[in-house]
Amino acid sequence: MTALPTGYRVGHAEDGVGLTGCTVILPPAGTIAAVDVRGGSPGTRETGVFAPGNLISEIHALVFAGGSAFGLAAASGVTAWLRERGAGVPVGPARVPIVAAAVLFDLAVGDPNAFPDEAMGRRACDLATEGAPGRGRVGAGTGATAGKLLGAGRASPGGIGVAAQRLPDGAVVAALVAVNAFGDVVDPDTGAPLAGPRVASGAAGVPYVSERALREDARIDSPLGGVGANTTLVCVATTVPFDTGSLKRVAIEAHGGISRAIRPAHTVVDGDVAFALAPPGPVPALLARLRVGAAAAHVVARAIVDAVAPR
């Protein structure tokens, strides 16, 4: 399965010359969200609103964008697009759309003056559809790279990836990710490298592996990946109803998938962020919580692999 649950629409918009773009996820009405930030250099908008116990937990759109902090402008375009269609939380005489966003750094790959803006956010909304979305170097993944220990110039292509799993009771857990990691992408089952620095061999004539090099290669005296120039952005969506407190745990468990498929993960130069989206409901039964958490980590790892797969 390579799609988010029924009712979710995904749209990509990109600048193929400047090598940047954004991805918009439009969930079904009433969807709630939780978020967990593990990276040391995040760039986000509207993440504090989803803390358990806060007044509002509903989300109307989630935006992943290139362009570093400049790319947060795309979320303003999405907010305007939703407002024009009457979406949002009623606040007095107005309706205020809740649009969360997280960005990745792609300014070293294409044009450093190119970044997603309001118009690009609107365009992604216009293009959003249900079903299997585009994957690879599209949307927020247009200028994404992976394995940047030796700098962006020697990194492998990153991108957008999607994976999903159906649980024994028919419920669905799916993930959409944007991979722009400092670390290498590896097979989560074998550890075999799939995307990393593009060099023939490391210190001992074996395939170059960033995590091993950081531990063992004395020739590395400064990481060239760039401070805050990396991130993996995650959206997990499930059809299982959740309350906001329990959904926060799903966002936490989703990070397990990053650790399985990216090494090293959650570094001080990454901005790893995981969002979890679900229909609202009471606290799920314990087995349901365990199943969704296990599936979240699994589909995130598989989506990361999908993001760097040859197209």
Please tell me what DSSP assigns to residue 129. Answer: B
> Residue 148 falls within a domain, yes or no?
yes
d(CA 77, CA 125): 9
User: The domain containing residue 207 runs over which residues?
Assistant: 9-308
> Residue 1 falls within a domain, yes or no?
no
Assessment of whether the complete model's pTM goes beyond 0.75:
yes
Whether 238 contacts 174, CB under 8 Å: yes
| Residue from 113, 112, 109 nearest 141 by CA | 109
For the chain, how far is it from start to end, CA to CA, in angstroms? 17
> Residue 3 falls within a domain, yes or no?
no
Please tell me what DSSP assigns to residue 25. Answer: E
SS3 content of the chain, % helix, strand, coil (to 5): 25, 30, 45
pLDDT attached to residue 200: 55
What's 43's domain CATH number? 3.60.70.12
pLDDT attached to residue 221: 67
pLDDT attached to residue 205: 40
| Residue from 241, 234, 238, 235 nearest 166 by CA | 238
d(CA 283, CA 249): 12
> Residue 123 falls within a domain, yes or no?
yes
> Residue 192 falls within a domain, yes or no?
yes
Whether 153 contacts 132, CB under 8 Å: no
> Residue 112 falls within a domain, yes or no?
yes
> Residue 18 falls within a domain, yes or no?
yes
> Residue 181 falls within a domain, yes or no?
yes
pLDDT attached to residue 203: 43
Whether 105 contacts 230, CB under 8 Å: yes
Q: Mean pLDDT by 10-residue block, N- to C-terminus, for the chain (311 residues)? A: 92 96 97 92 89 89 97 97 94 92 92 95 98 96 92 89 97 98 94 83 54 79 64 97 96 97 92 96 95 98 96 80
Domain total for the chain? 1
Provide CB contacts within 8 A for 247, sequence distance 6+: 32, 33, 34, 276, 278
